[in-house]
Amino acid sequence: MDEGFIPYQQSLEDEEQSIKSTQSVIEQAIAWFRAHSMFVLAYGTGCGAIEMPPTFTSRYDIERLGVVGVATPRQADILIVSGYCSPKTLKRVIRSYEQMSEPKYIIGLGSCTINGGMYWDSYNTIKKLDDFLPVDMYVNGCMPRPEALIEGFVKLQEKIRANSSEAGYIQYRTRYAHYRANQERLFGTQVQPRYEENFAGMNL
Amino acid sequence: MMSYLEEHYELIHKTPRLFALHVTREQLLDTLHQITTHTSFDTLSQLTCTDWIEEERFELGYMLTNALRSHNLMLKCSIARDKVTMPSLALLFAQAEVMERELHEMFGIGFEGNETLYDFALEGWCDIPPMRREFDTLAYVNAHYDFREGREDNLDVKEEIKKRKAAAKSAKETPSGA
C-alpha cells in the first residue's frame, strides 16, 4: 500500500514535520506553493521529448502533482533538458534558461545529459550538461519511462520544499564565471550576451 | 519508361525496383533533364555521398523516384576529393537546395548556384568537415569535450556478470548436493 493519493499525502505530511524545524511558517507556505505549482517549459531537445507527452496526458497525468506545461520561458519554473544536446541546441537552451524568472530549476532527462550516453564519442553533442548549466535533478535511463520522470519531479519537490541555498539558480548566479568559462570554451566566438548583466543591481 | 532508359543509357539493374547508371560531372544536368522529361522518374528523393578515400574520390548518388514510389533510379557521379564543385540542382528540384547544403557541411563539397551554403547543423565549425574519413572523431571529442569521471565503484561489467552467474550456479548446486 504505497501507491495512491493517501500514502502520498501521508508522505507530504511526514516531510512537513522535518522541514518545520528549520523554516518559518511563511517560508514553509511559500515553499509548499512553489513545490506544487511547477510550470514546465514546453521545449524538448532530444528523443526524451517523446516521453513527455505521455507524462503530461491522461495515462500518467503529472498535473496531479501540479506540473503544467507553459509556452514561454518567462512563465516557466522548470526546464527539462530532454536528451542529447548539440552545441547549437545548447545555445538556445541557455538563452531559454536565462530568460526564465527565478526560482528556476533544471531537470536533466536521460543518460545523454549525464555523460553523453550513446553519443559519448559524437563530435556534435555535449557530454556533461552541468558544466554549462546548473542541473537540479538528473533522471537517468535511455530513455527514462514516464514513471522515472515523475519520480524525478517528486524528488525535485522535496528539494524545492527544503529551500536550500544549493539550488541551481543560486549556483548560476554565484558561480557564473565557472559556467561562463565553459560556455565560452565550447562556443568560441559565437557566445551569448553575459547573463550577469541581468542581476547587476541585485544584492547577492 | 524503362525502354527509354535502356535505349539511351547503360542501365545497371540492381534489384527489380532499383536501377543505377553512371554519369560524369559534365553530363549530370543534361542527363537529369532528359530523364525527367522522358520518363516518370520526376522526383529527387535523396542525395547521398560516399567517401572513397583510397581511390581519392567522392561518389555522389542522386536518387530519383517515380510518382508511384514503386521504382528508384540512382545516378552515380564520381568526383575528385579536393576542391571539386558540382552544379547545383536547385533550379530543377527545390528540395535539392537543403540536401546540397547538408553535403557541403558534412563533406565540404561546393555546389555552384546554391545560395544557402552557410552553417546548417554545425554552428561555427572550423575543423575539417566531420563526415570526411580523414576526420578523427575521437581526437576531436577529446580535444573539445570533458568526460565525466566514472563512479567510485567503477566495476567491470563483464567480470561482475560472470561472478554473479558463478555465485548463482554454486547456490543452485549446493542444496541439490546436500
Q: What residues are paired with A67 via a beta bridge? A: A38
pLDDT of residue B63: 93
Looking at residues A118-146, what average pLDDT do you find?
A: 89
Which of B160, B49, B146 lies closest to A115 in space, CA to CA?
A: B146
The residue of chain B with its CA nearest to that of A189 is B124
Looking at residues A106-121, what average pLDDT do you find?
A: 88
Those residues of chain B whose CB sits closer than 8 Å to some CB in chain A are 121-124, 126, 130, 135, 137-138, 140-141, 144-148
**The C-alpha cell that represents B98 in the structure block:** 537543403
pLDDT of residue A21: 63
A204: DSSP letter: -
Give the position of cell 546436500.
Answer: B178
Judging by beta carbons within 10 Å of its beta carbon (0-12, 13-18, 19+), is residue B89 exposed, middle or buried? buried
The residue of chain A with its CA nearest to that of B136 is A123
∠ Cα B149 B147 A103 (to 5°): 90
Alpha-carbon gap, residue B77 to B13, rounded angstroms: 17
- A123 vs B123, B141, B147: nearest CB: B141
Which of B76, B90, B140, B132 lies closest to B109 in space, CA to CA?
A: B132
- Asked whether the beta carbons of residue B124 and residue A188 sit closer than 8 angstroms, the reply is yes
Measure in Å the smallest separation between the Cα of A4 and chain B Cα atoms: 35
Domains of chain A: 22-187 (3.40.50.12280)
Q: Which residues contact B86 (CB under 8 A, 6 or more apart)?
A: B25, B28, B60, B77, B79, B100, B109, B110, B111, B112
- Asked whether the beta carbons of residue A88 and residue B121 sit closer than 8 angstroms, the reply is yes
Does the structure show a pLDDT above 50 at A1? no
B40: DSSP letter: S
DSSP B139-159: HHHHHH-PPPPPPTT---HHH
pLDDT of residue A11: 58
CB B24 within 8 A of CB B62: no
The type of residue at B13 is H
Dihedral (CA of A39, A42, A44, A47) sign: positive
Looking at residues B125-147, what average pLDDT do you find?
A: 89
Which pLDDT band holds residue A199 (cuts at 50, 70, 90)?
A: low
Which pLDDT band holds residue A105 (cuts at 50, 70, 90)?
A: very high
Alpha-carbon gap, residue B130 to B133, rounded angstroms: 8
Looking at residues A61-88, what average pLDDT do you find?
A: 90
B93: DSSP letter: -
Alpha-carbon gap, residue B91 to B114, rounded angstroms: 9
Alpha-carbon gap, residue A144 to A42, rounded angstroms: 18
Give the position of cell 555535449.
Answer: A126
Domain that holds residue B33: 2-177
Other CB atoms closer than 10 Å to residue B8's CB: what's the count?
Answer: 14
Alpha-carbon gap, residue A129 to A91, rounded angstroms: 12
> Most B CBs within 10 Å: which of A85, A111, A122, A123, as the mutation test of the B interface?
A123
Does the structure show a pLDDT above 60 at A203? no
Q: Which residues of B touch A187 (CB under 8 A)?
A: 124
Which of A118, A137, A149 lies closest to A55 in space, CA to CA?
A: A149
Does the structure show a pLDDT above 60 at A12? no
pLDDT of residue B58: 92
**Across A192-201, B17-26, B64-73, least confident range:** A192-201
Counting residues of chain A whose pLDDT is more than 70, the rounded percentage is: 85
What CATH number should be reported for the domain holding residue B142?
3.30.460.80
CB A169 within 8 A of CB A195: no
**The C-alpha cell that represents A70 in the structure block:** 507553459
B105: DSSP letter: H
CB B77 within 8 A of CB B62: yes
pLDDT tens for each residue of B92-108: 899 999 999 999 999 98
Counted domains in chain B: 1
pLDDT of residue B62: 93
B79: DSSP letter: E
Alpha-carbon gap, residue B83 to A30, rounded angstroms: 64
